[in-house]
Amino acid sequence: MAAESRNHRAIIITSGDPAGVGPEITCRALADLDVDARNEITVVGSRAVLERACSIAGAAIRFGGEHDSVRLVDVPLRGSVLPGTLSAAAGDAAYTYIVRAVELAQDEGGCLVTAPINKEAMNAAGHAFDGHTGLLAHLTGAPASFMLLASERLSTIHVSTHVSLAEAIRRVRPERVLATIEAGWRHFRRLGIAAPRIAVAGLNPHCGEHGLFGSEDEAAIAPAVARAREAGIDASGPISPDTVFHRAANGEFDLVVAQYHDQGHIPTKLIAFDTTVNVSLGLPIDRTSVDHGTAFDIAGTGRASHVNMLAAIAYARRLPPRQADR
């Protein structure tokens, strides 16, 4: 991950589904930051929910924007929301927080940090998106977006994410694989790595064994890697998916291109479950996120850990200004 820098970027935190642990981990993380760091932060959420979460979490945080308080964009709930209970009202609130936060990020150039949402709740409210990444691409007009999971030992970027395995296989096409390689390469260059070493995982066992177990590795992945190398990118692959993550975790590569959601998520979460940060690439705004869900089973109990939220905020603060990506 990137070295610490002092960009003093504005950070805009969405507090996530109000029925989940997002408000609690937001309050706990804010309480752990110093006053200077909190002064760079705006929270988008419902005041009543956040004040209740602060009480539950034992976090002495005040919202409002005046001295020693955190700036808040208050979005009142439109309906009843209970901790740990899936509802359309909670899904609509989470959606509205994101819309308002994107507007702020576009106006102020800040980095978005998102607490978890519940996709079922958001869809129940009539907002048909597969999660943050697709919604953010829609709101910003981005033609494509990519999910990067970043941790100290292993980082993975995904050709596809929240689709069925059958659909993920269909999406393994040379153009999409190449675009994923390029997105990861640009991001790691932005972080200060002059020549990122990118490994591209195969799709099939042993990369298909020359067609014995499938043709996608030779027909779609290998041509994308070749085109990336022609463009000056240090890309290798396809590499057998049962070895590539081990090699990357031991320092051979800076980034692995995973072909689908679980292929990249499982090894990354196994190695760094509490500290992996979800980063959206390909958008005109910056966004980092916790890499866990709403945890309805412990919402409202005060037991939720805020370690991952602190990691997402720290990653956001490390990102250099976007012009460095040009």
| DSSP-assigned letter for residue 96 | H
In terms of DSSP bridges, do strands 255-258 and 156-158 run parallel, antiparallel, or are they unpaired?
parallel
Per-residue model confidence as pLDDT tens digits over 113-159: 999 999 999 999 999 998 898 899 999 999 989 999 999 999 999 99
Answer whether residue 7 shows pLDDT above 50: yes
- 3-state SS assignment for residue 296: coil
Angle at 85 between CA 23 and CA 120, to 5 degrees: 90
* The CATH number of domain 1-145+282-326, selected from 3.30.930.10, 3.50.30.10, 3.40.50.1370, 3.40.718.10: 3.40.718.10
Q: What is the pLDDT of residue 109?
A: 85
pLDDT in tens, 261-290: 999 999 999 999 989 999 999 999 999 999
Picking from 126, 154, 156, 158, the residue whose alpha carbon sits closest to that of residue 144 is 158
Domain with CATH 3.40.718.10 in the chain: 1-145+282-326, 146-278
Q: Name the CA dihedral angle for 132, 136, 137, 141, rounded to a multiple of 10 degrees.
A: 160
166 Cβ neighbours under 8 A, 6+ residues apart: none
Q: For the domain 146-278, what is the CATH code?
A: 3.40.718.10
Cα 45 from chain centroid (whole Å)? 19
Helix (H) or strand (E) holding 238: strand 234-239
pLDDT tens-digit map of 58-77: 999 999 866 668 999 999 99
| Enclosing H/E stretch for 45 | strand 41-45
Left (φ > 0), alpha (ψ -120 to 50) or beta: where does 192 sit?
A: left
Phi and psi for 281 in degrees, rounded to 5? -110, 155
